[in-house]
Structure 1
């Protein structure tokens, strides 16, 4: 196992910069997930840790060594790719043992390492099969087993589940998380799927445009997003965001939009009247209510039952909003519905900078701030 430290890491392809001074500390044995939209630089950063891309500036440390100039084979890492990269003419056992064969390991050592990895991953009955005889999930487990037999200090995963169907992705998420709990080895995992990040990571690094927007535990990012990007990216369905300003109403401040919609502000909000903000509330923190008790009324536009919950798209003044409700029936398109907002779950962001107003809600313990 090993600690990883990225210090002001930059990457440019020619004159085109893609990473802008990324600094991240990953503790020994920690499971950290890099998440963000396509093109944000997360896979490039992972490849730089692996030694598959050169560092333009800054330092990458694995353990107590700066590894910028070390070849991948000298970094004591193992990488699991998106496309499995198995040799079709080799059996499962031969694929898993290939790196040890290249290293000249004795047969007994190879067999023992493959046997241990096969037991961990449930591959023991499949060791004599070829990749074409395996399902997608089994092939991914073989790729993981090939990494495990090397007993590396760091595991790197580059979107390993993106080629699997939805049910298999859920199963493999649990298997990878269980693998980390067994091995307790440092893992860095790249995905564009924030559900994968939320369910698996010890900490999440949210990236956008080659920069780190926020680093923190999954629930910290969900409960106290540092800015509008994190607020909109973390959570599914995404947070409802409405532009407006602070106004006075009946002796207490409220949030008002240009079309006259008035919404309650969290207790303790001290933003000055006239300050332009973005008002955020997650769909699961909106509840149907009798009109007399409602904070606002909306017109239903679309009802999407999903089983345990129902997602409802509504017109709130001139704004589209989504609610996630457990009550049924909710109503039909075109009908009016009263809404009650959970006030201690309301988020406020500065409209100009996109940064969170900390006065909107106190940060939870362990919440991480923004990185350079």
Structure 2
């Protein structure tokens, strides 16, 4: 296991700057997920750590040792790609053992590590099969096993579940999580899927346009997003946002938006009359049983079984409500919304920064 440090990392392709001075540390044994939209630089950062891309500026260290000039094979890392990249003419056993054979490792040690990885990933019955005889999930487990047998200091995952169907992604997420809990190996995982990030990570690094927007645990980012970008990126369905005006008087605060007053706790920051964006998560909106609250017109009702998702219209803005259980409301009904106590978020409209 090992710690990893990124120190003022920059990366440019010609005149196009992809990474803009990123710095953060990953602790020994930590599972860190790099998440962000396509083109934000997360895969490029991972590839620089792997030695597959040159670093334009800055330093990357593993256990405080600068690795900028080390070849990939000398960095003691193992990478699992989006494509399985298995050798089609080799059996599962040979695919998993290949890197150790290249190192001319002892045959007994190789067999021991392959057997151990196969047992961890439930691949024992598949060791003599070829990749063409495996399902997508099985092939991805073989790719993970090939990384495990190297016994690296750091695991790198580059969107490893993107080629799998929805049900298989869920089960593979659980397998990767269980694998990390068992091996305790430092892991850096790249994805654009914020559900993967929320369920897998010890900490999440949210990236956008080559910079870090926020770093924190999944629940920290969900409960206290530092800016509007993070607020809307983390969480599914995404946070409802409404532009409005902050009002403060007599120790109270609220936001005027769409002709209604949206409740807020007293803000230490912000000023009366400031242009703001009001945010509330779909699960923090409830339908009033007393007819009090903000009126909204029902547009779509989407039952999913355990929950019901409502698309509503407030003024000229649409909001989403996620209800536990089922509801009798129908399209075109008028309902009244209440915001759960202490669950509102307020952001400065100009900067996007969270107001505390």
Q: TM-score, normalised by structure 1?
A: 0.93
For residues 208 and 251 of structure 1, the distance between their equivalents in structure 2, rounded to whole angstroms, comes to 36
- Tell me the SS of whatever aligns to 1:117: helix
Distance 1:205 1:119 in 2: 32
> 1:97 is matched with which residue?
97
In the TM superposition, what whole-angstrom CA distance separates every residue of 1:322-358 from its partner, at most 9, and x where no partner exists? 0001243241111100111113010000111000012
Name the residue aligned to 2:231: 231
In structure 1, the residue matched to 2:88 is 88
Report if aligned partners of 1:194, 1:233 keep a CA contact under 8 Å in 2: yes
CA distance in 2 between counterparts of 1:38 and 1:187 reads 21
Deviation, 1:50, is 0.1
2:321 aligns with: 323
Q: Residues 109 and 22 of structure 1: is their aligned pair in 2 closer, same or farther, counting only changes over 3 Å?
A: same
Which of the numbers 335, 349, 352 marks the counterpart of 1:351? Answer: 349
Instruction: Tell me which moved more, 242-251 or 259-268.
Output: 242-251
Q: Which runs of 5+ in 2 are unaligned?
A: none
1:314 equivalent in structure 2: 312
Shift of 1:105: 1.2
Aligned to 1:277, what secondary structure does the other structure show? strand
Q: How does 1:1-372 map to 2 (within 5 A)?
A: 1-247=1-247, 252-257=252-257, 259-268=258-267, 271-294=270-293, 296-358=294-356
For 1:8, what is the secondary structure of its paired residue?
Answer: strand
Tell me how far 1:250 sits from its aligned partner: 9.0
Q: CA deviation at 1:53?
A: 0.1
Structure 1: how far apart are the matches of 2:150 and 2:264? 55
Query: C-alpha separation between the residues in 1 aligned to 2:186 and 2:114?
Result: 21
Gaps of 5+ in 1: 359-372
CA contact (8 A) 1:267 1:343 kept: no
Instruction: Give aligned pairs, total.
Output: 356
Q: CA deviation at 1:297?
A: 0.9
Preserved CA contact (<8 Å) 2:305 2:326: no
- Return the offset for 1:271: 3.0
Deviates more, 1:222-231 or 1:63-72: 63-72
* 1:186-219 CA distance string (max 9 Å, x none): 0000000000000010000000011100000000
- Determine the structure 2 residue equivalent to 1:363: none
Q: For residues 272 and 153 of structure 1, what CA distance do their matches in structure 2 show? A: 50
Range with greater deviation from structure 2 (78-87 or 269-278): 269-278
* Counterpart-to-counterpart distance in 2, 1:261 and 1:117: 59
Give the corresponding residue for 1:364: none
* Displacement after TM superposition at 1:247 (Å): 2.9
Question: CA contact under 8 A between 1:291 and 1:337: conserved in structure 2?
Answer: no
Counterpart CA distance in 2 for 1:120 and 1:328 is: 41
Give 3-state SS (helix, strand or coil) of 2:170's partner. helix
Q: Hey, what's the Cα distance between the residues in 1 that align with 2:309 and 2:244?
A: 25
State the SS of the aligned residue for 2:342: helix
